[in-house]
């Protein structure tokens, strides 16, 4: 345990002095108070606990798991690469290679340890196969929900173990990025049903995929329409209004909620723009710069995930979603909760 020696000035108890009766038989005077050191009393030093927590957290490191979900071909695997290639991972960009990202056929996770100013973060992105290829898309959310619930089950099994580990490995999905196709119209029934179920078990951050296919006006109108639909359909997306802790939280999160869903563009290729290597998509009309806020909202998405809301996403996962699973699982005894949590109501979807 890290000791905080020297950090906490200790408050000395008030000293009392008594004068012993003199040899001359004089009368003992009442004890006089020594003036206490007010500085020491005013400052106990409990703020040092922050330093202790910081040091502990730095030693332990952070685990953060993001999942990408959405219809096939919307650029999920590309965005995973974008995230790892952008400065978040400090992974050196390899020269442009022409090989194409293959279609994802199974749930696969990619991890990368990022270290910055002595803080280590193990960032894992879980890539999922796209759905919606089938004529019948009934219950296409099942494999995704099963994966999420399986991670809760794993964590719970470790937690209730008699000889449990000091730090339980955390493979729980802290954030699920849901890809909405840039149709410019409205959410499809499939997206609504999928997000309704996901929202009950995980933090969802919706994004408009391939938003380079929309004009700026179309983008704004589409975003507004989606926000309205999410509200009327009662779909709970992150950051949740009911979990804003104070006025400051509310004002920060309101700004994020007004921006949602982020209109993103993905790419794993670099181009030279004004002499600077930049992640971008080259089109006949110019280069779309992925990290330029005037071009798309990838940077805002990355900021939310990796910079401003990482700890909150982890806390909501643990205190709300995992807690919900844990209560259900422990109150249901031996029942197979992992395959039912969030799966109530099977709809007919074409
Ligand atoms: N215009 C445009 N094309 C994109 C974007 N992101 C990816 N693509 C292209 O879309 C195609 C499919 O991308 P993937 O990343 O494989 O899509 P996916 O969602 O992983 O697909 P599945 O693995 O089948 O689920 C590729 O040709 C990408 O180059 C984007 O932001 N804009
Ligand atoms: Mg893929």
* pLDDT value at 22 more than 50: no
85 lines ligand 1 (CB under 6 A): no
Res. 37 pLDDT band, cuts 50 70 90:
low
Q: How far is residue 93's CA from residue 136's CA, in Å, rounded to a whole number?
A: 40
Q: Among the bound ligands, name the one nearest to the CA of residue 288.
A: 1
Strand 204-208 versus strand 175-180 pairing type: parallel
Give the integer Cα–Cα distance in Å for 204 and 313. 10
Distance CA 299, CA 307 (A): 11
Note the pLDDT tens digit of each residue in 228-253. Answer: 999 999 998 999 988 888 899 899 99
Q: Provide the β-strand partners of residue 276.
A: 273
Decide whether any atom of ligand 1 lies within 6 Å of the 195 Cβ: no
Q: How far is the CA of 100 from the centre of ligand 1 (A)?
A: 10
Using the structure block, give the residue that is written with the tokens 């219950």: 139
User: Does position 88 have pLDDT exceeding 90, yes or no?
Assistant: no
8 and 43 Cβ atoms separated by less than 8 Å: no
Per-residue model confidence (pLDDT) at position 272: 86
Number of the ligand 1 atom closest to the C-alpha atom of 213: 1
Q: Cα–Cα distance between 97 and 188 in angstroms, integer? A: 35
Mean pLDDT, range 208-221, rounded to an integer: 93
Which residue's alpha carbon is at the smallest distance from atom 21 of ligand 1? 73
- More confidently predicted of 21 and 83: 83
| Candidate from 72, 79, 101, 288 with most ligand 1 atoms within 8 A of CB, to mutate | 101
Instruction: Write out the DSSP string of 126-186.
Output: EE---B--SS--TTTTHHHHHHHHHHHHHHHHHHS-TT--SS-------EEEEEEP--SS-
Average model confidence (pLDDT) across the chain? 81
pTM: 0.82
- Which residues lie across from 206 on neighbouring strands? 178
E-assigned strands of 244-348? 262-263, 270-273, 276-283, 286-289
- Edge-to-edge, what's the strand order for the sheet holding 270-273? 270-273, 276-283, 286-289
């Amino acid at each position: 345990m890290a000791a905080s020696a020297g950090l906490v000035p200790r408050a000395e108890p008030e000293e009392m002095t008594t004068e012993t009766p003199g040899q001359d038989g004089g009368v003992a005077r009442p004890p006089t108070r020594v003036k206490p050191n007010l500085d020491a009393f005013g400052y106990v030093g409990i703020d040092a606990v922050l330093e202790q927590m910081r040091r502990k957290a730095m030693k332990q490191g952070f685990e953060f798991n993001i999942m990408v979900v959405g219809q096939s071909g919307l650029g999920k695997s590309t965005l995973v690469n974008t995230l790892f290639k952008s400065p978040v991972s400090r992974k050196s960009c390899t020269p442009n290679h022409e090989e194409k990202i293959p279609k994802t056929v199974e749930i696969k996770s990619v991890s990368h340890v990022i270290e910055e100013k002595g803080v280590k973060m193990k960032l894992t992105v879980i890539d999922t196969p796209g759905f919606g290829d089938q004529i019948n898309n009934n219950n296409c959310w099942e494999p995704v929900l099963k994966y999420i619930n399986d991670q809760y089950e794993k964590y719970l099994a470790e937690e209730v173990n008699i000889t449990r580990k000091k730090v339980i490995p955390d493979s729980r999905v802290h954030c699920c990025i849901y890809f909405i196709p840039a149709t410019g119209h409205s959410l499809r029934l499939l997206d609504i049903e999928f997000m309704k179920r996901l929202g009950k078990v995980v933090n969802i951050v919706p994004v408009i995929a391939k938003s380079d296919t929309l004009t700026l006006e179309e983008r704004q109108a589409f975003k507004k329409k989606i926000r309205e639909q999410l509200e009327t359909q009662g779909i709970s997306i992150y950051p949740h209004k009911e979990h804003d802790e104070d006025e400051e939280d509310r004002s920060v999160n309101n700004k994020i909620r007004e921006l949602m869903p982020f209109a993103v563009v993905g790419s794993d290729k670099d181009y030279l723009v004004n002499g600077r290597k930049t992640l971008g998509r080259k089109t006949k009309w110019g280069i779309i710069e992925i990290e330029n806020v005037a071009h798309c909202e990838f940077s805002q998405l990355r900021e939310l995930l990796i910079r401003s809301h990482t700890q909150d996403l982890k806390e909501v996962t643990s205190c709300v979603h995992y807690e919900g699973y844990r209560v259900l699982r422990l109150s249901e005894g031996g029942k197979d909760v992992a395959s039912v949590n969030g799966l109530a109501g099977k709809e007919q979807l074409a």
